[in-house]
Amino acid sequence: MMLSEYTRLINERLKKAIECKNSKYKGLYDAMAYSLNAGGKRIRPVLVLEFCRMTGRDFHAAIPAACAIEMLHTYSLIHDDLPCMDNDDLRRGLPTNHKVFGECNAVLAGDALLTEAFYQISSSELADIVKARCIMVLSEAAGLNGMCGGQYLDTNYDDELSEEDIITINTLKTGALLKAACMMGVICAEGTDEQLNAASVFGDNIGRAFQIRDDVLDVVGNSEQLGKSIGSDSKDKKINYMSLYGEEYCLALIEKLTCNAKDAVRQSFSDTSIVFDLADSLAYRKN
């Protein structure tokens, strides 16, 4: 109930989040809007809003941060799908951005979404200290030592990947941004350092569980449910938990990480039922 309310609100706000001031470059706006409004689970913005609420502030305060992280996540999907990266044709059941708007405009749409994410926060009505801290957390999670570093490893891997390497890739590529989402929620509500740390551990663990579930679904899921080509990762010989250790090991690990996530937040927040449900829905999802 709460989750669907969040998702509805986020979808509504994302539609109005970016202003196109000149019709001459409306084509670029359209490319940005195409991917931003293509649906998706809105996991990261939901986490921002819910952690803000759990920390004791009206979740509406965190809407700019929630929109920002979804814009940033969307940019990463557009660039990851590019011919020079994963070369994917399908995303969320729709043709990928470069398939519709061309490669040049897909690169630009990603660039602009990433940039506008920071405008979203800096131009909001949040307190200056909240803006500065949110932007620091978000840019650190998305930069060299976060998502970009993870994507680099994922696309430049060699055949000698160790379990540690896979953890690093998962942590950077997926975990960093989920962790940032939880932390930004606490920051928007000006929570304690203890709450910030709990949110960080929660995000890190659900991030890893999420990525392992992704690997499992890539092998045992079906194309229609997942909205992308089955085996699209393994066909390019990508090594992951599933290919190394098999389904049983992966399922046990997902369970363990989800427990770790819940344990982390139990003490620091009074009302954790929604994030517990969310953790379960990510860990045990079918698509």
Residues that bind its own copies (CB under 8 A): 18-22, 24-25, 27-29, 32, 75, 79, 82, 84-85, 102-105, 107-108, 110-112, 114-116, 118-119, 121-123, 127-129, 131-133, 135-136, 138-140, 142-145, 148-153, 155-156, 165, 168, 172
Give whichever of 58 and 103 is closer to its own copies, judged by the CB atom. Answer: 103
Nearest distance in Å: CB 137, its own copies:
9
Give whichever of 174 and 272 is closer to its own copies, judged by the CB atom. Answer: 174
Give the chain's end-to-end CA distance (angstroms, integer).
Answer: 20
Give whichever of 69 and 254 is closer to its own copies, judged by the CB atom. Answer: 69
Nearest distance in Å: CB 260, its own copies:
22
Nearest distance in Å: CB 208, its own copies:
17
Nearest distance in Å: CB 147, its own copies:
8
- Asked if 179 and 204 touch (Cβ cutoff 8 Å), the reply is yes
Other CB atoms closer than 10 Å to residue 240's CB: what's the count?
Answer: 22
62-79 core/surface letters (b: 16 or more CB in 10 A; e: else): bbbbbbbbbbbbbbbbbb
Nearest distance in Å: CB 72, its own copies:
9
Q: Computed from CA positions of residues 203, 148, 26, 82, in that sequence, does the dihedral angle turn out positive or negative? A: negative
Give whichever of 169 and 242 is closer to its own copies, judged by the CB atom. Answer: 169
- Asked if 229 and 88 touch (Cβ cutoff 8 Å), the reply is yes
Going by DSSP bridges, is the β-strand pair 90-91/94-95 parallel, antiparallel, or unpaired?
A: antiparallel
